[in-house]
Amino acid sequence: MTAQQHAAKTILNVVPILPSLNFSETRKFYVGTLGFEDVGLDGLDYLVVRRGCMELHFWLSDDPLQCQNSSVFFRADAPTEIYRDFCDRGIEAIRPSDDCGESGGGVRFHIRDPHGNLLMFGGAAPASKAH
């Protein structure tokens, strides 16, 4: 096992840290609209929300361009279930053209939060071949 392979196995997960222009609005959207839970680790300058294995951290920003230029991609075994849940919640989930289809890792869609952060969802990546 190489040092790179060993280091990769020690990482448990990666948690994106996105900018927020207003924690109250961010919390309302993620908790009230998307079904996340407020983890309660927020302070004056930090907010954490979680839904199942999806966890997002936010820092307070005063620059709208930071939000408009920030994004996260969630890989899921069943992105269609997430898409349907968001649709049932009345969220305008946008699905790209059907040409990404099942061969492209399943359904892919994206939504933007109130400040412009892009949340992209798609199927699990195909297993890579060993080199």
* Interval 22-43: pLDDT, tens: 999 999 999 999 999 999 765 6
Alpha helix stretches (DSSP H) within 11-89: 23-27, 64-68, 79-88
Domain boundaries, the chain: 12-123
Rounded to whole angstroms, how far apart are CA atoms 46 and 127?
35
Q: What pLDDT score does 74 carry?
A: 93
Tens-place pLDDT, residues 64-95:
999 999 999 999 988 989 999 999 999 987 87
Structure token digits, residue 109: 């869609």
Q: Which pLDDT band, with edges at 50, 70 and 90, does 45 fall under?
A: confident
- Residue 106 DSSP one-character state: S
Q: What pLDDT score does 131 carry?
A: 47
Q: What pLDDT score does 17 carry?
A: 96
The CATH architecture to which 12-123 belongs is Roll (3.10)
20 — phi, psi (to 5°)?
A: -135, 135
